[in-house]
Chains A and B, each alone.
Chain A
Amino acid sequence: MECMTLLPFVEWLASTRGSIALHESLYMYPLIESLHVLTLMLFAGTTALLDFRLLGLGLRKVPLSDITAKLLPWMFTGFAIMVTSGALLFYAIPVRSYQNVFFRAKVILLLLAGLNAWLFHAGIYRSVERWNHDEVLPRRARMAGLLSLVLWALIITSGRMIAYNWFDCDVTTKPTILWLAGCTERNSHP
C-alpha cells in the first residue's frame, strides 16, 4: 500500500529549489493566491451564468449557442489561470496540501465537475440545434447546469478550507481523518 502513495513524490517536490523559494517568498505566494481567488470571478462567475441559462433562471431569450460562444473563451482563459496558479500554490506547500482532507475532496470534486461538463458536451449538447432557442431546456441540460452550480460551490468552499489546519496530520487525532488524509506515523500527532 505504502508504495502506491504519492508521498515520496510530494516530499521530493517540497525539496526542490522552486518550491522552497515560493514557500519562503514574502510577496509571491500572496500574489499568486490573490490571482487564484480573483480569477474565480472570470471562471466560476461565467460558468455560473451559463448554468443559470441552462436552468432557465435568466437570459432565456438568448440562444444557448450565443451564450456558449461568448462565455467559453472567458471560461477557458479563467480555467487556465486557475489551474496554473493552483498548481503553483500546491508546489509551494506540497506535503501539507497532499495530506489535507479538503485538498483531496477538492480534487475529487474537480474530477466530477470535469466529468459533468464532458457528459454535457458529448451528450445532450450535440443536439443543441434542435432546442437552442427554447426557453425551457431539456431535462438533461438543466441537470447539468444544476450539478455544475453545486459542484463549483463545493469546490470553492473546500478550496477555502484548505487554509485551515483543523485536520492536519500533526493536529488531529481522529483515526478516520488520519486515514483519509493519508497521514503516516512520521508526521502524525505524537
Chain B
Amino acid sequence: MILAFAQWCEASGVGTAIRESTWAFAVLESIHLISLASMGGTVLFIDMRLLGLGLRQHPVAALAADVWRWQTIALSALLMSGLGMYCSEAVKCYYSTSFWVKMCALAVVILFTFTIRRSVVFAPEGRHTRVTQRLVAILSLALWFIVSASGRWIGFSG
C-alpha cells in the first residue's frame, strides 16, 4: 500500500515536475538546509537552556515563548520542502533504510515536541525538577540528531 502511494507520488504532476527540472530539487534542498539551520538553532537554544547552560537568569518559558514560533515556522518549511523532494523520488525512498529511520524518528520527535516538551518548557518555574528538564532536552537533541543524520544519509545510500 505504501509502495503504491510512493509510485503514485512519483507519477504525480508535482513529482514529475521536480524530477524533470534541473533546478527544482537543488532549490528545495537549499530551502531544506536553511530551514534545518534555523530550526536546529532554536531547538539547541531551548534545549541548552533546559540543560542549564547559559541565560539562567531568564525563565525557560519566557525565552521559549519568543523562539517557539520560529521553530514551528522552520519545521513547516522543512516538512514542505521535504515533501517536494520525497515526491520526486518516492520509490527510491521506499527502499531506503535511512529514509524509514528518519521518518520514524521524525514522527516521534514531532509528537514529543508538541506534547511533553512543550508542556515542560512552558510550565511555571519549579513545576518540574532539573532532572526532568534535562531528560527532555537530551531526548529532544538525540531524536533530532537521528532525524538529521539519517536524513543526510538518504542521499548517500542507494
Contact = CB atoms under 8 A, between A and B. Distances in A.
Given A34-B153, A46-B45, A58-B70, A70 B148 contact: no
A136 interface: no
A184 to B, nearest CB: 26
Nearest to A26: B156
B108 to A, nearest CB: 18
Given A34-B149, A58-B70, A66-B58, A40 B37 contact: yes
A30 B58 contact: no
Contacts of B58: 62, 66
A41 B152 contact: no
Interface in B15-53: 22, 26, 29-30, 33-34, 36-45, 48, 53
Interface residues of A, number: 35
Given A70-B55, A161-B30, A58 B37 contact: no
A124 interface: no
A69 B54 contact: yes
Given A38-B145, A156-B33, A157-B30, A59 B67 contact: yes
A109 to B, nearest CB: 13
Nearest to A45: B41
B40 A40 contact: yes
Interface in B43-76: 43-45, 48, 53-55, 57-58, 62-63, 66-67, 69-70
13 contacts: A38-B149, A40-B37, A41-B36, A45-B37, A45-B39, A45-B45, A66-B58, A69-B54, A157-B30, A157-B34, A160-B33, A161-B26, A166-B22
Interface of A: 30, 33-34, 37-38, 40-49, 52, 58-62, 66-67, 69-71, 74, 152-153, 156-157, 160-161, 164, 166
